[in-house]
Structures are given as structure tokens and as C-alpha cells.
Structure 1
Amino acid sequence: MFVDEVVIEVKGGDGGNGMTSFRREKFVAAGGPSGGDGGHGGNIIFTVDEGINTLLDFRERKFYQAEAGENGGSKNMHGKDGEDLLITVPPGTTVTDTKTGKVIADLVEDGQRVVIAEGGRGGRGNTRFKSSTRQAPKFSENGEPGQERKVKLELKLLADVGLVGYPSVGKSTIISKVSAAKPKIGAYHFTTLKPNLGVVKVGNYSSFVMADIPGLIEGAHSGVGLGDDFLRHIERTRVIIHVLDISGMEGRDPLDDFRRINDELRKFNEKLMERPQIIAANKMDLSQAEENLENLREVLEKEGYEVYPISAITGQGIDELIQRTDVLVKETPDFFEEDDEEEEVIIRGPQPGEDDDLFDIVEEGGIYRVIGDEIKRKVAMADLSTDDGLYHFLRMLKKLGVNDALRESGIKEGNTVNIEGLEFEYSE
């Protein structure tokens, strides 16, 4: 089974809680704070493995979470950091944040890595809050929650050559003839419901990867029929072989088919028209083929296209088509430009909260709600079990500008404030 699109949820590991403790040593009457920091949570990291060619495993498991950091200990002991969770994906996978619609990563090269969800930082122990005016802080900080994301994974085939054309023009038969691929073949539309890959060997020292893209129809660029589910795979190819049924057995004009398919490619991605495209006029063993070929050549060769008459059934013209395709593959540069000097293998994704405002204030029925990803993290990290911890939290809110924002929103003495689930009565 070929799976080329799936949505999963990922969560970085939570940071460990900081420790509240004090030195208790012999002959030391009043020891100072000694609480250590919590460990950082592990990251969710996607890594490319060229040995994988589908996203099938993600259909069985939809949620991934990295290891949490350990809590801090007494005697200023730092908690152990959580282990990163490495998730392998096939080359050609794009990762998109479903909330923002932004592409987080385009994973192409074997071994390439990207941090998809950051682990939370460890909470600070009470030692870190000691100051000249606060000698014995009786609070610490909870660990930061790990970053949560829902992401869409899309696999775009990494092939040198893509076969395009209407359904049932013979693409599957061609790839079965020139490679070891064994696609399902039948005399009806949409036989191919998944792209087929085959390695085509040319002579003793040359080869290229060919992809049989499922048949396209009008409106495919906007999702009609099999639609843009498969158009995305053509984006990766260097050379396009446009397969036409030159016999016109189904009552279609081969030249009209050529124009319509190219129109779909152009609407999906204008840059596809810059790729080398050669014409495979298939089914030359059938009647009307010679007459239609003459008309096709008269038009398309004037436009600069190379037309190769072939028969996928008998093998006529296949060798010439493959030889020319091999030359074009060698002459055409990779679609992806690579920097040979680039050594960094981990690409760090967007940091938590970098695209978010610190908070928003929404008034609902007399209750003033303070919401936002950043303020949610602050609440999660606050130690509200002691008066000192609560006082520190309130000072932090003031520093962030929450107090001023509430006053600007028209809050009155005695109104209720809800900060990500924490409710209290407002007072100046």
C-alpha cells in the first residue's frame, strides 16, 4: 500500500520541575536555598531514511511524544534532560503545520534532520531566585510544557522522469517494459491508483528512476478525479514524458489531449513547463496511428517538441525513447539546488510562541479572559502552591503588561479575571 499524505500530532517532552529545598548541614543553623533546575524535555526530530518509501507507518500511530526532563533535586542537582524522539520519514516528505498552513520542512536528502516540536525547558530551582532582598525563596518553577503541533506529512516522489497523460494511454505498460516495476495493468480508466516507481537501466553504467503518475483529467489541478493528490509528484521530476494514445481509439484527438494535460500542469505549477518534455506517441500497432502521428508531428515539432512513435505492447521505439530520456536526465540539473558547503544537519523549526502575540484579552459576560500560547506556558510553569510563588507569578504578569492591558480593556474593581483557567477577583 502506498500512503502519500497523513496528519499526525507531535509533542515535545515537558521540562522537569525545579526543586524547592534548603541546605540542612551539620553546624549550619540556617542553610540557604539548594533546589536544582529541572531537565529540558526532549525534541521531536524528523530524520530522512532513504530505505523508506511510504508514510504507511503513520496510519497506525497518530501521536508522538518525546521524553520529559527529570525534576531537579536537592543540593543543586540538575535533572536529566529528556531523550529526543527521532522519527524516520522517506525522502521527498514535506511537513506542514496544519494550524498556520506554513511548510516547516522539505526533507529531501538521506540523513537530513529537522526539529518539528521543541521540548520544554526545565523549571528553575529556588536557588535561582535568590537575591540580595530575597535570601530564602520558598518557591521554584515548574517545567515548561513541550511544544504541541498537528502536522501534515506529504510524500512527493523523488524520480528523475515522470510519465504523464490521460488514463489508459499506456503509462503502466511502458514502465513495466523498461524497468522491474510490475504495476497493475488493465483496459479501464484509473487502473493506477498510486504512483509506481521503476529503475531504468541504460547500458552497463547508466540508470534513472521513472515514476508512472496516475492518469490526469481536466480539473486535476483543483482536485477533480485523482487530482492534485498525484500532481505533486511531478514537481520532483527533471524530465517529463508525455504519453499519448496516438491511435485515438477512444474517440479523442491526441493533440487535444496533449493541450489539455499541459494546461493542467501549467495551472498546478507554472514552472513545470520549464522542464524538458518529450512526446511518446503510444499504440503505434493500432489502426489510424500512422495518420494521427503525421498530424501530431506537423504541429508539435514546429513548437520544439521531440515526438517518439512507440508501442508499449510490441516494444517498437522504446529503446530510442529511453536513450534520449537518459541524455536529457544527465543534461538537466536537479530541481533542488544544494549547497555543498552546508554542514548543518539539524534544521531547527519555529520556536514556541515566535508567531504568537504574548496574550489577548477577551471579555465574555463580565469575565475577562487572558489567553494565548505564551501566557499559557507561563501559567503552566508557575508554582502557585506557596505565597512566594503566587507573588512571583503576579509580578511576572505585571511585567508582561497584563495589568495595563486589563485596565485598557475597561476592567472594574471586583470583576473576574480568568488566565488560562486560573480565576481571581480583580483588584487594584
Structure 2
Amino acid sequence: MKRFITSLSLLLLPALAGAYPHDAALSARLKKEFAVQLSSTAAGRELYSRLEKTGRYKSLQVLVRRDKGDAFAWFEPDANAVYFNSKFILKFFDAKGFSGAQVVEVLWSNKKVRAELVKYAHPIYLHELVHAVQCYLYPEYRQDAGGNPLEFEYEAYLTEDMYVHERMKADPALLRDFIRGSYTDIYTATTFGSYFTLSLDPEKYKEKIRRYYEEQLGGYVSMEDAAERRQAGMADSRILAYASGRVGEYARDNTSLARLQREKAEYAEFLENFYGTHWPAFSSDALLFIGTAALEEKNYPMALDCLAVADANAGRYGLALEVLGSLKTKGALAILEAASFVRDTHKKMSVEILAQHLKALEKACAATGRPFPEDLGPLRAENYPKAMSFYAAKYSEERDPARKDYYKENLDFFAAAAGSPQD
């Protein structure tokens, strides 16, 4: 299932509990142990190099606090701290009844427990460190813009996905366990939720992030929109400022606007260079790597999503001919294997599992310009109305927003395919 279960980084969260006795000692240990993990990759080392140049990373703390929200972790600029939500730490360990102070004490005193957290939560920590360096470099941006910058997430997710890719290529055991369904945890599911939804098209990748942060989460605004809004507000307030004698306030706002426009231009140039340096070499390599692993583990919906992507537009992304050829070859193989698998095992599949295989196969055929297997047409016609009813029921019953979105996406697809579009 494609979804973002991500940290609500940069949100202004409620005031948290006061200091716990072992905060400083635990922070030092977590900071050191996370650094060992992150520094094992080029992406992690590059991030640490940028952090150290700012001069503020040395005093950064890694703290554990409980928050009622859905944040796994977040960076708080005023405290210069990355916070991990103890609510989700307890969920990760399947533990109950511990207070915030007790969670801190256990992590401080028990090296094995702490190592288990670090082992699986390190990509979450890296994501928040990206936000730390952003806040160090642009400390007044949020105040000037009146919101959290959407573009910061474009950088954070690409950095995290590149980091995860390096780690998985070095040791794919966790990836394969997750793909075959033999292991999961809340942090790994979150991390792979982004990594598995890469695209050859960088704009499609960023659009997915934009929809989540602007339309679902809220409180985020693009740098372009922020500058335009501030500019419009300044034009309206100039006359009022002079008429009311609040010239000093207007001057400060004008300075803020100039700073906002300067930082927008600087960061836009950085982000363009950052994506231009890594795309499409990273995305195509990751899609081939994930898709090949999924194909070998017989997770055909995932294999098709990753490998059957060399559509008519693939040539414009600047892919090397060898890479494009590999995607086309493996995409064709995935389609053939998936179709054969459906033929052989469809009677043993649930309505949902069969529907997801047929859906992935249909989308893969459409993307690569291949006809849907003719002999599977009757099976598709029989299954899709059942799938529509299944997801309609799930959608009406679900209360979790992310799951509800997933059910709605599938309901819309199967309703349209079954010839009964929903209002």
C-alpha cells in the first residue's frame, strides 16, 4: 500500500514535558549511535558535513517525549532538538503502561533496547536532521513565510530515499523480508512507504509529497506562494501603515519580504541542483533494485509498479540507453510472470489480493503499451465489481485518514473500471 506515515517535521507542536533526569546522557548516546548508522553511507556523510559547517549541530539534542499527535519524530528549531515520540516507541516495542520518564530511563540504561530503536528508526532521524540543517541555514524562513516550506520536504524525502537505497543495496535482508511479508514494524513501514513510491519523473515524485503536505496535512506552503502572498499583503498595507503612523512596522515587514525573496531564490537554485545531480540515475537504479527484488520474491504488484515504468515518456528523463533497456526488459518479464501467476493461483486468492494483481497488471500494460492478456479479461470482468463492493465497504467503515485515502483510491479505480463511476 502506498502511503506516507511520516514525521510531521517542522510543525509547531504543543509545549512538551520538562526535562527528565537522564535527558542529557540519553541524548549523547542516541546522537552518537545514530551517527554510526548514518555515516555508513555517502548520503549520511554528506549531510553530516553540511551540519557541521553550520556550527549549531554540536549542541543539537536527541530527546524523547510523548505527544498525542501522529508525529514519529520532529525537529524543533527553538530547542535545537530532534524529538522522538515515546507513544510510537512504545508501539514499536509493543509495550504499554510506561510513562515518558520511564521510557527515557529504559533507553538510557538498556543498551540492547536502545540499539533496537536505532537499528530501525535511523532513517526517521536522518529525515529530521535534514530539517535541522535547513533551519540552521534559513532560521527566519518560517516566520517570514507564515508557514512551513513545502520545498524543504522535497529535499528531506530525496535525501532519506537515497540513504535507504544505499543501506538496502549494502544489505538487502530487511528489504526482502518486508517485501515477502515476513517482517514489518512502524518505522520500517514508514521508511519504505516513501522508498517504494519512487518514479522516473521527478515532478511526479514531488507532486506526491505536495499532495500529502498541502492537501492532507496542512500548514505547508510553497516558497513561491509564500512570497506572492507576502508581496500582496505589503502592497495593501503600505498606505495603511503611513496613515496610522506604523511606518516602523511596515519597514520591518519590507525587510522580511526581501529576506524571504532572497532565501526563496537561493533555495530554489540549491534544490534544482540537488535533484539535477541525483535524478534520474538514483531513481532508475532504485526502481530496478526494488523491482528485481520484488520479482524474485513473487510480489508481483510491487514488481510491476517498479519495473513497468518505461512508458512513452521515459526517454525524456535522460536515462542511459542501457538503463532504459533494462527497465523495458524487466518490465516485460514482470508482466509475463504476473499474468502466469494470476492464471495459476487466482482460485486461491481473496477478492482483494486478486484485484490488486489485476490492477497492477492492467496499469503496467497500459504504461508500456501492451495489451492486457486476453484470456484474463473474463476474470477481470468478474473480479472488479466485487473489488468495488469490497473497497466501498472498507471506505465507509474506516476512520484512519491514511487508510481511508487508500480505500478511496482503490474504490475509484475499480468503480471506474467496472463502469460505475462514483460521485
TM-score computed with the length of structure 2 as normaliser? 0.25
Which protein shows a greater Rg?
1
User: TM-score under structure 1 normalisation?
Assistant: 0.25
Higher strand residue share: 1
